[in-house]
Amino acid sequence: MNKWLEILVGLILVIGTILIAWFSGANQWTWLGLSWDFRNAAWVVLKGGIAWFVFFIGLLFLLLGISDLKN
């Protein structure tokens, strides 16, 4: 792919995602009784990712501590 085309497609995807998330949260999109609030969904995924990251860092420290006990 051409490098300029890649940059253009990337910018379109990033800006499009931001706009869709913004408008879906501001206008309360609903369909068949379901909320399509992508901004809220992105926030929930981010918080979950942070929680899993902290959990695995703690697990890493536990494994490193146990490994040091053997020495």
Instruction: Report whether 12 contacts 4 (CB < 8 A).
Output: no
Instruction: Please compute, for residue 53, the number of CA atoms within 13 A of its CA located in the half-sphere on the CB side.
Output: 6
Task: Look up the pTM and report it.
Answer: 0.61
In the block, tokens 């706009």 appear at: 19
Q: In this predicted structure, what is the pLDDT of residue 53? A: 95
31 strand-pairing partners = 34
Range of the domain at 58: 3-70
Residues near 39 by Cβ (< 8 Å), separated by ≥ 6?
A: 21, 22, 24, 25
pLDDT digits (tens, 9 = 90+) for 6-46: 999 999 999 988 888 888 777 777 777 777 788 888 889 99
User: How would residue 68 be classed by pLDDT, with cut points 50, 70 and 90?
Assistant: confident
Q: How many domains does the chain have?
A: 1
